[in-house]
Amino acid sequence: MRSSVAGLLLFVFALGRAPAGIAETLSGYAYLTPEMQAMQDDEFGNPGQLTVDRGRALFATAGAGEKACSSCHGDEGSGLDRQRIARYPVYDARHDRPLTLRGQVLQCWAERLGNPPLAYADPVALQLEAFVRSQASGETVAVEIDENLQPFYEAGEKLFHTRWGQVDIACHQCHDYHAGQTFRGQVMTQGQSNGFPAYRFTTGHTVGLQERITECLTSLRAEPYPAGSEEYLNLEVYMSARSNGLKIETPAIRY
């Protein structure tokens, strides 16, 4: 039997409200209080910067092959291509699947630096991803859905509209229909991905997009997929393209 919370949610989403999509694409930043916006904007006060700083240190640390990320990409990431970062996920022809920014970091970690492979959810992978993506802060998200990525985009869109778990709610019902409304003391956003990796104010830690999806699925009493799974890659393609036109805010602060 569903809990009273699940029943309440089902009642709310059965009200038949009008929007079938989003009229205007808004970053999660638009839903923060002025105080939290100021915290995100403060390079010294933003708690997500701790994860970025750890990634910065790893970026400059030589791996088993005696090379560091900075050996190719310059001190402090000065040689990183900001526009390229804003285009991830991209198509990986070698493996015939999407390649996320974290996936690229993991490839470089093992193949270019000669380190033992890391799990997709390893904190080191998160920290490096946070640092690299922060170097493109302010760049416009520009994921290109070409003929190669189109099937993965469509599969991710289907998952975004799939009802999950015992609560029986789809991602789009919260983030398309009810963005801006308050639930359990939190303002629901459009679920845009432009701020990730982001610091979650309610849990006190930094998460990547896939970790955040896992948290959502768990709250819906659904079985999450493994980090780096085909399903999560597809969702990341769709959700990243859905954020096209927004500015990268990593490390953002989110509820």
* Beta carbons of 219 and 5 less than 8 angstroms apart: no
Q: Residues 114, 116, 119, CA angle at the centre, nearest 5°? A: 130
| 250 DSSP 8-state letter | S
SS3 content of the chain, % helix, strand, coil (to 5): 45, 10, 45
Q: DSSP of 58-97, one letter per residue? A: HHTS--TTS--HHHHH-GGGTT--HHHHTT-SEEETTTTE
Residue 90 neighbours by CB under 8 Å, 6+ apart:
98, 99, 144, 149
The number of CA neighbours under 13 Å toward the Cβ of 110 is 11
Q: Based on the residue annotation, tell me whether 216 is a catalytic residue of this protein.
A: yes
Say which of 69, 171, 174, 216 is annotated catalytic.
216
Alpha-carbon span 247 to 250, nearest angstrom? 9
From the list 131, 147, 162, the residue with the least C-alpha distance to 225 is: 162
Calculate the CA dihedral of residues 88, 51, 82, 175 and round it to 10 degrees. Answer: 50
223 alpha carbon, distance to own chain's centre: 19
Alpha-carbon span 99 to 1, nearest angstrom? 40
The residues annotated as belonging to the active site are: 216
